[in-house]
Structure 1
Amino acid sequence: MLSILKRHRMRMLLSIAVLLVFLLHVIGVLPLGFADRMENLAYDLRLNLMMPKTVDPRIVIVDIDERSLLEQGRWPWSRNKLAAMVNKLFDQYHIRVLGFDVVFAEKDDAGLLALQQIGSAVKKPEIAQALERVKPSLDYDRAFAESLKNRPVILGYYFRANGGKDANVGMLPPPAIAAGTFDIAAVDFDHADAYGANLPILQQQASGAGHFNPEPDSDGISRRIALLTEYQGNLYESLALAVARTSLAVPKVEAGFVAGTPGEDYAGLEWLKLGSRHIPIDGNAAALIPFRGRQGSFPYVSASDVLTGKADPKTLDNAIVLVGTTAPGLMDLRAAPVQNVYPGVEMHANMVAGILDQNIKSKPAYMLGAEFMMLIVIGIILALGLAVMGPLMSSLLTVGVLTSVVGFNLYLWQDANLVMPIASTLLLIGLLYLLNMSYGFFVESRGKRQLAGLFGQYVPPELVDEMAKDPNAFSLEGESRELTVLFSDVRGFTTISEGLDPKQLAQLMNEYLTPMTHVIHHHRGTIDKYMGDAIMAFWGAPVAEPDHARHALLAAMEMMQALEQLQKDFAAKGWPPINIGIGLNTGVMTVGNMGSEFRMAYTVMGDAVNLGSRLEGLTKQYGVNIIVSAFTAEKLPDFVFRELDCVRVKGKDEPVAIFEPVGPKGTLDAETEKELAVYREALKLYRSQNWDLAEMQFINLRSQHPGRYLYEVYIERIAYFRDHPPGDDWDGAFTFKTK
């Protein structure tokens, strides 16, 4: 036995070292970011596998959707319209509780201002008396407040983590737990410095209010909701908690501690109490959202149908109603574990349902100790067993341990409503197995060298390493795939080349092409060819990449950033500045080794490739650096694009929409958002041939943003179409006769 241990001691020591790293990660001494990301993914996977995927009819979402905005007008609506909706919901549809995932922080005094203007213009006493009589009917805020009076209505509001008293707006509801109830310093509550709440006249008439602050994890995905938030020593309940409490007719929220007095034996606040119901929470007083399924797990009713009386009474009768929005422009769409774009109001609905059903998952503090012990037991078993077993028995042992861990974890999840961490354990099992197998099965370097010979000139080394794991899965034979192609070209290259001698020109091109290639390789792109000053690259082959459009766009945007640094370097050397245009298109292309018996190249061909080349040529026509097709833009719903035009390029009869990337959603400043909104309206007027209004909008945009050549393009085009009308059957597309 000792001889066996001695012979395999290096394997065992390495395995113990790996185990030690994971133990240090669990106790927080050596955080492993990838393990945390894996934990989030493991949580999402279990949630998606085990959620019921049923529709809960008890909670109904009254949706301020796109149709509502079209039929009732843009948001915000006047308060008298909201008052009418509240009255209909309670009087006609007989709902039980109403919650607003909306904040009403500003006054609606449009009616009173109009009345005041009329009174100022008309000085006759009899007119003044008549106006005074109609004044109450035009006080829309009061009308809305009256509709809330003596009804179970919960308003929404939000907290901010920074800002002082001057940043406060509106009136807070009474706290759910007042200061001094227990030592809140012992619990790591989310802390707020300011708030944006409802008008006092509304808050005073409502039954209560709850905050709807998002609580995304580090990866931007919302998996939990903070049920209590601390502000100036008081604790305020969330919208979902307030709605559930009102529905259950429970007067107050109580804190639940495991044992002892807070601050003495154990200060951990582990649940909240609503009457007999216990709601498990984490160390930040947040609860995991018990998602039922993807969007649509609760009945949706258009707000417009409520206002017009067209909603189905059976759907709303005795229901808990949440008023929110799924309209993209109103910015209440979030990333969720079950769906990339998910309505925030449905997250609150899931939490309300979880509170009512008492099926919220719990992740108590003692799970840290359970994870620590499981790592020790499994690490020792595998460190000893894999070191002395052959390949077959090692594989069987690993599979057995893996199955046991996953099965036990799923049992706790489903039957005990406990979330036990699993990522570190799975990573440990996988790493120990790979570590020990590498002693018996060394990396097949021959296959890697062959792949490097075939593809090394096209793809970055890290992709060659990935391909080497399964060399038989890759070949140079032609095939059809959906890919994304990129073309870039230096503008005015002929003029630049005439001003440099051949040696300088070669040096300039080398210093330009090298960082551009690094960027493409960094984003997992395949270099097709260099054509003088032009670059052709594509994504999705030879290694299949489902997210090829995203990688291509990120590469294009980073190429423009790299160009800014190059401009500085070139200026220091006395070289002329350069600018580039980039075209991106996504579509089905033929990819493979093509050429003649004298020379072959791994390349892409097809109409989609040609379109990408045409888009690069159009960049200078619109004064932009990057143009992507509609086919690429639709693959990236989390990016904001500016629609440049709808065009027919040379060689194609069908029009295609073209776009300029602006940035990821949620990162744009208010000025840019406003500019895009005005531009979209101007584009709509242009396509409806309303030349005068369209021209006015584009002239205003040009004056506000003089550096954007796009607006000049449309102003000139409108002038042309006035003299040469495109006809009633015009589809809005502009036809280019040249490449």
Structure 2
Amino acid sequence: MAQSQHLRGARISRYLTGNCTSMWYRLVQSLYLGLAIAVLGVFIYAFPVGQAWEEETGLSVLFRLRGQRPAPQEVVVVAIDGRSSRQLNLERDMRDWPRSLYARLTDRLAAAGAAVIVFDIYFRDPGAAEYDRQFASAIERAGNVLLFGYLEREFLDNKAGGKLLEVERLRPPIDLFARPAADIAPFVLPKVPARVSRFWTFYGANELASLPVAALEQYAAPVWPVLSALVGEGDSRLPGNSIAAVRARLRADPSLTRRLLQRVSSGQIDMDADHRKRLSALLALYLSVDSPYLNFYGPPRSISTLSFQSLLSGEERALPMLRDKVVFIGFSERTQPGQKDNFYTVFSQPSGLDIGGVEIAATAFANLLQRETIMPPGGTALWLVFFWGFLISTLFRALPAYWNIGAGLLAAGLYFLITYQLFAQASSWLPWTIPLLVQTPLALFAALLWHYRDAHRGHRQLRDIFGYYLPGEIIDRLAHDTRQALEQNETAFGVCMATDAEQYTRLAERMRPADLQQFMNRYYEVLFAPVRSRGGMISDVVGDAMLAVWSAPADDARLRQKACEAALDIVAALEQSTQAPLLPTRIGLHAGAMVLSHIGAIDHYEYRAVGDIVNTASRIENFNKPLGTSVLVSRQTVQGVEGLVTRGLGTFTLRGKQQALELCELVCRVEELSDATRRLHACFGDALAAYQAGDWEHAMMLFRKLLSRYPDDGPSRYYLKRCENRQNYA
């Protein structure tokens, strides 16, 4: 192999000596490099981690560079804030306010000529009867009030498949308000780890219209007869089910929707500019994806915002600005300490102030109306990433080495300028982090490597040169397996705790699901509290099992001690618990290398520990069963830990493991050690020593003697049985 590589290198060197062949060889190299960088960029971008990086970093930078911009005048937010509650002498929870206030507000908004009134408040429970009637009457008088509906998720048994079925139902507000309301809709934001950047237009299998969509459809009410006639419905007055029918028809037939949008936008249908705008927005909505990206207008309160209290107090100068506007009503605070119903976004302030849910809903409506939601780059982005990677790599390889950095900076700057201008002017989002922060540096680096290879005629000289700047193994990894180099994770030290409840299956069979759910919630309260108080993190909960981790950059005895003390705290808390029935719990602890990372795909990720330590801790926990113990730890977990009492139980090869592991029983703290336990440990140590020495008869005698004094000692029973089995086989 080495000889063949040497011969091949010699042939290439000879091949490069000719001017014509050298130029041809460089061209081939350029094509290979361009193809490799292009494919690498597509590979990274196609994975969820690449798209998440593009969203978290790329989209955020574009928003911040663009900064605040004027919000559309058609939408206004009425903010229920701490100032309003103080001036009205009411509680901060707006759901508990007298409904008469909402009735007055609705009447004032209707009198001011508001086109649509949207309450981003869930009126789940009845209030004072008279006030509720006043609010219901105001809703009926206005005729254009939309109410928030809560989307409730339920899990039902699927007896056929054995799995839980997830069912989502829309829970409307109380019937007194729901009947006169123009529409009821939820406002659902996609699941993301932390930052809100998207919203649902239509959600779930039933394609429920979200609150911003319902607001747009209500705002477009004047053009519904025209749209109905175009689609073929022909009704001049459309009831709610007809709106749903037209919507379903247009969403099911995108080609029809595109033709209608083209006719409306080109002026083929006679209508004024305002109605044309509303109808175009509606048709564009039905063509869009179900979860577009929010096109934020800036930090909190970038959308025109009026105080709830100022409108009730009769501030007349605010009323004219409400005519023909869509008014969203909900909680929106000016300061971080008073926040409720707020979400972390790209424009969240350093002070901690986030954007309120009602302003996000208003932003979504404004985006739909202006047809400026930010659409995901989609398949076009893959071609762009491929083209850029190929172009920049070919350029770097074709140019002399001393031109590469300047050309790279110029090309990257031009690419980013175009990306920013398209985003700022047309709300078009093109990927730039992977092209500029991954492909361009990698292409530059690879091209420079090739330039050095050409200059020094061989891989060894190239490695010698770059060895001054990077370790040899890193250079080899980048040269031979770029994917592995990019995806490699740094490991950390950690302690993993695995728990499992005994008799859970029997308990689940006897209890109703609702009772079992409440019982397990109380059970996990007992487990979680010690873990968190000792600095641990709950990594996973499945059924009756919990996985907790403690992590540090390197091995730390204090970290291992915290995990052990948490285990003892759990045992003590369970013993002191008054909850019935009792649920004995087995615990296993193991320490070693692990990686904490986000595991998942698409729109759902979980942050958890990865590594053999997790599997080993689970195996240790499970080994409590044959040993008859409650808390087992590996010897390396308690090595060097002070203040704890442990009992060595021997070395075992756990199920599914190849290497034997020394296990200890974690008993108690030193100050809690009793004389009886001390004698038990001493006697057990003698018996275990006899067993490990192969003296089965003496070991049996010692274990039997020990069990006569301590009949409940599980490890003694385990070893006595092992001795008896060996005697039988002897």
**Which is richer in helix?**
2
Q: Which structure is larger by alpha-carbon Rg, 1 or 2?
A: 2
